[in-house]
Structure 1
């Protein structure tokens, strides 16, 4: 019989010298939610290095184009830019048209048109001399439309025939550097045609031939003068028509000469003497 033996296990608590913690790259890893900050071996392919980051650079061409566009806009809005000059031209033309339309409307309403009629063509001439023939045409059209709205078609046509076309013709000739002789001659013809056109329009509106009444009165007056002088001959109607045309041209020529003289002095005082082609006698006296 084999005796029962109890094996007693001995538990030895061995305390040994602690080994230093090894900071080898293979063992040290920082576990964090951001995997791109993990530190691993230098040979690891997933290593993110600071040298791998690249600074994002904007497209220099785009910046140059943007700067170029801004510079072009600033150049256009400068006092010598085309946009600024065109805007200034439109503003001046509109202001001249508004002023002319208002003065013409008030002068007709107060029956003082004869005192201001010599100034109705001046804004068109100033616009043509400052900005060119196109600006004069814009002022003419704007003034005519404004008078059409304010006073109706009759007043608008009256202004157009008696003052508007005359001012546009004068401004065009002065802008092109034409001489005074040519300018006065052409403006006289335009003024005379405008006066005859105004008479014909008035005749159509009142249903009466005003031109025939004028020629008949001239014929009667001339016949009375010849009879009083002892002349028994009676002038023909063709002679009366010729005399009527000569009188209209003479009246228009005197008016345009005074208008040239007045506008020349006025524009000279405005500092536009270098743009004018004045006669020598007038240039010496101004």
Structure 2
């Protein structure tokens, strides 16, 4: 077998240059192609550079930080520090204000304490009056019903005593009704407010006793009129008629042929009521003065000389 058929031809890595054989006749119709017979060489190697790799203009973002414009950022931390300092000063001011308000000498603390004390005194006074009238022992504890109002007036002023009286009356209105509330106001509330006001103003005891006795006498007459309205009977007329009959009997027994007029009867009735209320008020002044001295409130009182000597 002829093995030359299986011979392989080995070619070089570089193909031979393209050339036109000499036996080929030139075509007169075509231009001369003498340059085709020249060997074809590979393109020259051009060294790589950033301008050849990236022909487009550089991106401004890719510039170094040195080429970027420098902004002055020194003011930002100063402003932030100033804002933080202002916030800290504001918070510290609020904290100082809260501490001042919650202090013992603060306005909020004092107002809260006044409100609590007045409410407590009103509740105690109303409950004591309600239990006393319900158990019919009012005559034994009647001298203590005006005490909370006087304490509030001496400690917190005249307005505090007035508020204590109103709060006690409202509590009695809810618990017992309008009759007992009005009775408390006329017999004890107004007397307590008058006494607390005069003692707060450091008035003389003689003036205080006279005014308080007059207020209690008016309150007693008012209670009589309210009772007359409720039972549809003129109690004041019955009292004056009984006084007139008693005086007429005394005059006739003495041997005087005279009948007292109704004006004299009214004057005698008013004098007796005023004296009764006056003795009661004197007892209240002495009792309350001793009570306040035991509480350590002697500096806020103006005591008469005879009482200071006795103490």
CA contact (8 A) 1:75 1:81 kept: yes
CA distance in 2, matches of 1:41, 1:69: 46
CA distance in 2, matches of 1:179, 1:260: 12
1:76 aligns with 2:101: yes
CA distance in 2, matches of 1:224, 1:53: 108
Q: What is aligned with 1:15?
A: none
Q: TM-score, length-normalised on structure 2?
A: 0.77
CA distance in 2, matches of 1:74, 1:231: 81
CA contact (8 A) 1:40 1:47 kept: no
CA contact (8 A) 1:39 1:47 kept: no
1:193 aligns with 2:232: no
CA distance in 2, matches of 1:61, 1:48: 26
Q: What is aligned with 1:65?
A: 90
Q: What is aligned with 1:40?
A: 64
Alignment of 1:114-193 (within 5 A): 114-193=139-218
Which structure would you say has the larger Rg? 2
TM-superposed CA distance for 1:39, in Å, is 8.0
CA distance in 1, matches of 2:141, 2:122: 16
CA distance in 2, matches of 1:172, 1:41: 84
Superposed CA deviations along residues 216-254 of structure 1, whole A, max 9, x for unmatched, are 111111111222222222211111111101101111111
CA distance in 2, matches of 1:41, 1:145: 82
Q: What is aligned with 1:95?
A: 120
CA distance in 1, matches of 2:69, 2:135: 96
In structure 2, do the counterparts of structure 1 residues 231 and 46 end up closer, same or farther at CA, with 3 Å as the change threshold?
same
- RMSD of Structure 2 on Structure 1 (CA): 3.0
TM-superposed CA distance for 1:40, in Å, is 2.4
Superposed CA deviations along residues 178-228 of structure 1, whole A, max 9, x for unmatched, are 010110011011011111111111111110000110111111111112222
Superposed CA deviations along residues 146-178 of structure 1, whole A, max 9, x for unmatched, are 001110000000000000000000000000010
CA distance in 1, matches of 2:181, 2:295: 29
Residues paired across the two proteins, number: 265
CA distance in 2, matches of 1:150, 1:41: 86
SS at match of 2:81: coil
Q: TM-score, length-normalised on structure 1?
A: 0.84
In structure 2, do the counterparts of structure 1 residues 47 and 263 end up closer, same or farther at CA, with 3 Å as the change threshold?
closer
Give unpaired runs (5+ residues) of structure 1: 10-34
In structure 2, do the counterparts of structure 1 residues 41 and 93 end up closer, same or farther at CA, with 3 Å as the change threshold?
closer
CA distance in 2, matches of 1:48, 1:152: 82
Give unpaired runs (5+ residues) of structure 2: 1-20, 24-36, 42-60
